Structure 1
């Protein structure tokens, strides 16, 4: 019995361009199960999707109530760790630029060019100014020009993995760095425990390495047809790609909609 659906957004639930299709929206409203969005995105990117329920944001660092539009929980990276990680990455990744997600906005040094126009952020003159202005850090972002992100992730994990959690969602040369021990799966497991839901009652969908923790924890896991090779290798079940409403197709079949 499926009691909870955990789904990533970009490349999984959403069509290209961040669109939630009418078919997928109708399917999510029709299923007899809790729907939990589990994404690297911060709350401000999920609040206009016309979904209700819960969103686990910033790769597990934040829990957002979609119905009441409020953050109910946040885990932060201590500022001494932020500085230590920034210095360590600068030593091992050429031309790396650092940004921080505060939960309200992204602040970056000038060398960070990891976002396009659809992901606005505020650039400050010096990295020290970023640290001074950020009231908290729920996620760090590290970007390097022309870097191969899987290799970059390996280097970063070796350099700073004892201090933080490092992953990525497929962006060119863009790493996502969370508080130590924080992941999508850890936060989802805690949420399920409060609701009395076991992992065998959870079905999960994802497409990128930052989804692997959830896909490995859930009782049933689907890699999208457009997923990263590591994700496809990790999952026995494969859904059609997001461009074909793959999540909706699987749920329609399982719930006989």
Structure 2
């Protein structure tokens, strides 16, 4: 992958977020505009990958592919907005014939999938990362964390300490001590504690990081520390601006707390049936589970039933 023109994410302005009134009650299924309704006809479909577009087996179903094609024939564009770095999501984009821009790395990267070219990438200062880890452990009463990092682009390699996970994948890097994590430039740090709940670790990291970093919860057992200001709303806003779309043009789908900024930015936010309660609380609608083609179910209602399914 080429990395020319890579620039710090903090240098790019974030598109304004669109405030939406909330009733305080649970989202209602089936509330998205239907074809021919007075509601907006969304021109941008923003989807997370894991737990949203991808099934548990990491595939995209024929029904979902057909629904995305239906949206495309209606004039809408599909934009992937994922926590995975570009190097990790490329195979999934290729599998569905994805073209154009994608937002990767929790908003830290803007990736041109058609050209296999990274347009924007943000790095996390090593000294700051190490200090935030230390302060987080102090907030947790001295309980040590298991750590991982994603190295800087274009490599974007996942490097872990020995007890970060029970199974280390062959393409990951394994270090003998945490000091080795800081041997090369990184884009983010991932924290987990084997006994403490994720919410407590995330809260401690947020207190430790203050306004120096961004902290998000991307999946079970994985709290991420990113450069300040980086989140999915930043990446989505940057990509939408380049593509000529505004928040009100956008319907967004996600499943975890790291998707909250994206759903709040978009004109209409959909949480998957398998979503974290924190995301459901801010969503306009709850779709079926990702293994039940929840994205497709909503898109078929918004854009009309597909002619045929593969």
Which TM-score applies when normalising by structure 1?
0.92
Partner of 2:227: 179
Partner of 2:58: 18
**Cα distance in 1, alignment partners of residues 149 and 130 from structure 2:** 11
Q: Does 1:38 align with 2:88?
A: no
Superimposed CA distance per residue, residues 87-121 of structure 1 (whole angstroms, 9 cap, x where no aligned partner): 2123233120222101420223334x147445842
Partner of 1:161: 210
Partner of 1:67: 114
Which TM-score applies when normalising by structure 2?
0.77
**Cα distance in 2, alignment partners of residues 249 and 10 from structure 1:** 17
Instruction: State whether residues 214 and 230 of structure 2, in contact with CA within 8 Å, keep that contact through their aligned partners in structure 1.
Output: yes
Q: Does 1:47 align with 2:90?
A: yes
Structure 1 residue matching 2:234: 3-state secondary structure: helix
Cα distance change of structure 1 residues 241 and 118 upon mapping to structure 2, 3 Å threshold: farther
Q: Does 1:97 align with 2:149?
A: no
**Cα distance in 2, alignment partners of residues 209 and 116 from structure 1:** 25
Shift of residue 70 of structure 1?
2.3
Cα distance change of structure 1 residues 16 and 95 upon mapping to structure 2, 3 Å threshold: same
**Cα distance in 2, alignment partners of residues 186 and 122 from structure 1:** 29
Partner of 1:9: 49
Which ranges in structure 1 are unaligned for 5 or more consecutive residues? none
Instruction: State whether residues 35 and 53 of structure 1, in contact with CA within 8 Å, keep that contact through their aligned partners in structure 2.
Output: no
Q: Does 1:129 align with 2:180?
A: yes
Instruction: State whether residues 46 and 80 of structure 2, in contact with CA within 8 Å, keep that contact through their aligned partners in structure 1.
Output: yes
**Cα distance in 2, alignment partners of residues 18 and 184 from structure 1:** 21
**Cα distance in 2, alignment partners of residues 47 and 75 from structure 1:** 18
Instruction: State whether residues 42 and 249 of structure 2, in contact with CA within 8 Å, keep that contact through their aligned partners in structure 1.
Output: yes
Superimposed CA distance per residue, residues 8-38 of structure 1 (whole angstroms, 9 cap, x where no aligned partner): 1111111112111121122223322111111
**Cα distance in 1, alignment partners of residues 300 and 215 from structure 2:** 34
Structure 2 residue matching 1:166: 3-state secondary structure: strand
**Cα distance in 1, alignment partners of residues 293 and 169 from structure 2:** 23
Q: Which has the higher contact order (CA 8 A, sep 6+)?
A: 2
Which ranges in structure 2 are unaligned for 5 or more consecutive residues? 1-40
**Cα distance in 1, alignment partners of residues 249 and 116 from structure 2:** 26
Structure 2 residue matching 1:188: 3-state secondary structure: helix
Instruction: State whether residues 75 and 138 of structure 1, in contact with CA within 8 Å, keep that contact through their aligned partners in structure 2.
Output: yes
**Cα distance in 2, alignment partners of residues 197 and 238 from structure 1:** 24
